[in-house]
């Protein structure tokens, strides 16, 4: 018989697995990865990191502006805070000679203790710190505009954002709360929002196929060209001619294949001409 | 599989550029180092064991052997340079360059006289090479290397 062992709750906590990438993404919103190849001794190292929050970024920036000589300490702290996964080798991969030489050359730090980051080439941590800084806060107004435009494009092409925005507008939800829902619940809330909404004119929400929109656009541009030709001809000749009627027919053919609204408009136009 | 293809492509490139295989080219470089800089094969191997990587830099008719700088050494250098905290940014940069070259140029031995007698760009170019092999990347390269996941 196996003997049951009592597990102390604290031990259980210690043994709990690291949070998954999905959990980390939910917590921090966005994660980035960076890889360094052909690194001395270790060959290749990779890091997955989160950006700093705005308040964290401003806090570190202020320190660096007032005390630039603290850069190494700040770099270490930011890396410890933001790197959520690091694929770096074990300390044992470094030859004894190497560790001995490096520590011999750095007497002030040897007594404090050496960690893996200290043995890597100097630029890895600095470049990683720079990557975290760049991706944490836009450095120029231009960068803000680019970020806004990229986000606009992303949200424009994604129905999920529209549904979420609509649900949040009608009900008292925060966008983050909607992330934990299944897509069925999201759709359910969206339709409930449609029914409850006073903005009937904006309803119903439809998923628009991009290729369909582009098709429509190209058709309407064909129509515009034909209409422009007809208008020009009318101006130069001062009245209706055979060519005009031909064009009119052409227009009608095109319109029969395009949207009903423009068809309706053209019928109106032709009826006005007859009345005259 | 991809790594094999990459390696093969690299070998072909080396062959096209230098007219020899990578192994043959390494042998030629080693021979040149031994002849020009007066470094023995044993010394070269010892440096490789000590610092992980040794790189030959050619600046015109001059050859230098450099090694990457580790983070611990960089911290030490920054601490040492803080002694003159009132120095201007330019003075600090010059002091950093000097300290970096003193640490990371393995051959030929750099003396105080070399700092004044050498050509103006030699040490700046060596600094760039050392920083490159120590994985200090440009902002553009850093951002291009990051992927959103």
Residue identified by tokens 């001409």 is A273
Q: For residues B16 and A275, what is the distance between their CA atoms, to the nearest angstrom?
A: 81
How does the average pLDDT of chain A come out, rounded? 75
Question: In this predicted structure, which of A184-193, A212-221, A266-275, B107-116 has the lowest mean pLDDT?
Answer: A266-275
Is the confidence at residue A228, as pLDDT, over 70?
A: yes
- Determine the average pLDDT of the residues in A59-71: 87
Q: How confident is the model at residue A212 (pLDDT cuts 50, 70, 90)?
A: low
Q: For residues B141 and B100, what is the distance between their CA atoms, to the nearest angstrom?
A: 23
The total number of structural domains in chain A stands at: 3
How far from B43 is each of A75, A199, A220, B46, CA to CA, in Å? 35, 81, 77, 5
**What integer pLDDT is reported at residue A111 of this predicted model?**
55
Pick from B6, B56, B60: which is nearest to B27 by CA? B56
**What integer pLDDT is reported at residue A86 of this predicted model?**
86
Q: Do A31 and A84 contact (CB within 8 A), yes or no?
A: yes
Tokens for A11, please give them.
């031990």
Is the confidence at residue B53, as pLDDT, over 80?
A: yes
Within a domain: A4: no
Tell me, yes or no, whether A79 and A116 share the same domain: yes
Q: Per DSSP, what are the bridge partners of residue A121?
A: B70
Size of interface A-B (CB pairs under 8 A): 119
- Tell me whether A32 touches chain B (CB under 8 Å): yes
- In tens, the pLDDT along A153-166 reads 888 778 888 888 88
- Residue numbers in A near B6 (CB within 8 A): none
Within a domain: A154: no
Question: In this predicted structure, which of A108-112, A114-118, B57-61 has the lowest mean pLDDT?
Answer: A108-112
Tokens for A156, please give them.
């424009």
Q: Do B37 and B108 contact (CB within 8 A), yes or no?
A: yes
How far from A36 is each of A54, A123, A146, A248, CA to CA, in Å? 27, 10, 27, 65
Tell me, yes or no, whether A132 and A31 share the same domain: yes
Within a domain: A79: yes
**What integer pLDDT is reported at residue A272 of this predicted model?**
46
Contact B70 A31 (CB under 8 A): no
- Determine the average pLDDT of the residues in A40-48: 84
| Number of neighbouring beta carbons within 10 Å of residue B10 | 11
Given A31, A41, A123, which is nearest B137 (Cβ)?
Answer: A123
| Number of neighbouring beta carbons within 10 Å of residue B59 | 15
Q: What is the CATH number of the domain that holds A76?
A: 3.30.2220.10
Q: How confident is the model at residue A109 (pLDDT cuts 50, 70, 90)?
A: low
Q: How confident is the model at residue A13 (pLDDT cuts 50, 70, 90)?
A: very low
Contact B76 A106 (CB under 8 A): yes
| Number of neighbouring beta carbons within 10 Å of residue B80 | 14
Test the B interface: residue of A122, A131, A140 with most B CBs within 10 Å: A122
Test the A interface: residue of B22, B54, B75 with most A CBs within 10 Å: B75
Tell me, yes or no, whether A174 and A223 share the same domain: no
Contact A41 B131 (CB under 8 A): no
Angle, nearest 10°, between helix axes B2-18 and B22-32? 50
**What integer pLDDT is reported at residue B132 of this predicted model?**
92
- Determine the average pLDDT of the residues in A197-223: 61
Contact A122 B70 (CB under 8 A): yes
**What integer pLDDT is reported at residue A273 of this predicted model?**
46
Q: How confident is the model at residue A34 (pLDDT cuts 50, 70, 90)?
A: very high
Q: What is the pTM of this model?
A: 0.66
Question: In this predicted structure, which of A121-135, A221-235, A252-266, B27-41 has the lowest mean pLDDT?
Answer: A252-266
The order of strands in the sheet holding A83-87 is: A83-87, A43-49, A32-39, B147-148
Is the confidence at residue A204, as pLDDT, over 60?
A: no
- Residue numbers in B near A78 (CB within 8 A): none
Q: For residues A211 and A215, what is the distance between their CA atoms, to the nearest angstrom?
A: 6
Within a domain: A185: yes
- Residue numbers in B near A119 (CB within 8 A): 70-72
Asked which of A145, A171, A202 is the last residue of a domain, the reply is A202
Contact A131 B145 (CB under 8 A): yes
Nearest CA in chain B to A72: B75
Tell me, yes or no, whether A67 and A129 share the same domain: yes
Tell me, yes or no, whether A23 and A116 share the same domain: yes
Tell me, yes or no, whether A22 and A102 share the same domain: yes
- Determine the average pLDDT of the residues in B117-133: 88
- Tell me whether B83 touches chain A (CB under 8 Å): no
Task: State the nearest Cα–Cα gap between B85 and chain A, in angstroms.
Answer: 8
Helices then strands (H, E): number in chain A?
15, 3
Question: In this predicted structure, which of A99-113, A124-138, B116-130 has the lowest mean pLDDT?
Answer: A99-113
Query: What is residue A175's three-state secondary structure?
Result: helix
Which domain range does residue A58 map to?
Answer: 17-136
- In tens, the pLDDT along B73-89 reads 888 888 887 655 566 77
Q: For residues A252 and A263, what is the distance between their CA atoms, to the nearest angstrom?
A: 7
Q: For residues A90 and A134, what is the distance between their CA atoms, to the nearest angstrom?
A: 29
Q: How confident is the model at residue A140 (pLDDT cuts 50, 70, 90)?
A: confident
- Tell me whether A118 touches chain B (CB under 8 Å): yes
Q: For residues B82 and A24, what is the distance between their CA atoms, to the nearest angstrom?
A: 38
Test the B interface: residue of A117, A121, A124 with most B CBs within 10 Å: A121
Residue identified by tokens 């960076």 is A34
Is the confidence at residue B46, as pLDDT, over 50?
A: yes
Within a domain: A52: yes
How does the average pLDDT of chain B come out, rounded? 82
Within a domain: A150: no
Within a domain: A233: yes
**What integer pLDDT is reported at residue A59 of this predicted model?**
92
Within a domain: A265: yes
Tell me, yes or no, whether A178 and A91 share the same domain: no
Q: How confident is the model at residue B38 (pLDDT cuts 50, 70, 90)?
A: confident
Given A101, A118, A135, which is nearest B71 (Cβ)?
Answer: A118
- Determine the average pLDDT of the residues in A210-238: 67
Q: How far is CA A39 from the centre of its chain?
A: 31
Tokens for B59, please give them.
């600046």
Q: Angle at CA B23, nearest 5°, toward B18 and B28?
A: 65
Burial A177-197 (b: 16+ CB within 10 A, else e): ebeeeeeeeeeebbeebbeee
Query: What is residue A138's three-state secondary structure?
Result: coil
Q: What dihedral angle (degrees, nearest 10) is formed by the CA atoms of A106, A109, A110, A111? A: 140
Tell me, yes or no, whether A218 and A196 share the same domain: no
Residues 6+ apart with CB under 8 A from B51: A40, A98, A101, B67, B68, B106
The order of strands in the sheet holding B62-66 is: B55-59, B62-66, B105-107
- Determine the average pLDDT of the residues in B10-37: 76
Tell me, yes or no, whether A178 and A260 share the same domain: no
């Amino acid at each position: 018989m196996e003997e049951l062992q009592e597990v102390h709750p604290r031990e259980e906590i210690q043994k709990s697995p690291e949070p998954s990438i999905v959990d980390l993404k939910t917590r921090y919103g966005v994660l980035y990865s960076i890889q360094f190849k052909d690194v001395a001794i270790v060959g290749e190292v990779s890091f997955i990191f989160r950006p700093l929050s705005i308040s964290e970024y401003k806090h570190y920036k202020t320190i660096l502006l007032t005390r630039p000589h603290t850069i190494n300490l700040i770099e270490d702290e930011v890396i410890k805070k933001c790197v959520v996964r690091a694929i770096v080798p074990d300390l044992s991969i470094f030859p004894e000679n190497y560790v001995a030489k490096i520590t011999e050359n750095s007497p002030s730090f040897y007594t404090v203790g050496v960690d893996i980051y200290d043995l890597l080439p100097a630029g890895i941590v600095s470049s990683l710190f720079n990557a975290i800084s760049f991706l944490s806060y836009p450095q120029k107004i231009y960068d803000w505009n680019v970020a806004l435009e990229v986000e606009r494009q992303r949200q424009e092409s994604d129905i999920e954002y529209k549904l979420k925005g609509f649900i949040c507008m009608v009900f008292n939800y925060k966008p983050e709360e909607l992330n934990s829902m299944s897509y069925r619940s999201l759709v359910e809330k969206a339709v409930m929002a449609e029914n409850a909404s006073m903005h009937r004119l904006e309803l119903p929400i439809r998923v628009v196929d991009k290729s369909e929109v582009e098709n429509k656009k190209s058709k309407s541009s064909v129509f515009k060209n034909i209409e422009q030709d007809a208008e020009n001809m009318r101006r130069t000749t001062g009245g209706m001619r055979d060519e005009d009627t031909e064009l009119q027919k052409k227009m009608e053919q095109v319109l029969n294949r395009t949207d009903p609204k423009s068809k309706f408009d053209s019928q109106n136009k032709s009826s006005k001409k007859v009345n005259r | 599989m991809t790594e094999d293809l990459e390696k093969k492509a690299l070998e072909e490139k080396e062959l096209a550029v230098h007219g020899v295989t990578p192994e043959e080219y390494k042998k030629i470089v080693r021979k040149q180092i031994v002849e020009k800089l007066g470094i023995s094969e044993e010394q070269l191997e010892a440096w490789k064991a000590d610092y992980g990587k040794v790189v030959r830099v050619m600046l015109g008719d001059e050859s230098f052997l450099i090694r990457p700088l580790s983070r611990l050494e960089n911290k030490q250098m920054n601490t040492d340079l803080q002694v003159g905290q009132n120095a201007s940014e330019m003075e600090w940069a010059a002091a950093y360059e000097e300290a970096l070259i003193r640490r990371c140029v393995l051959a030929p031995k750099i003396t105080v006289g070399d700092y004044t007698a050498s050509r103006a760009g030699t040490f700046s170019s060596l600094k760039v090479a050392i920083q490159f092999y120590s994985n200090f990347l440009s902002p553009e390269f850093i951002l291009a290397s990051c992927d959103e996941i």
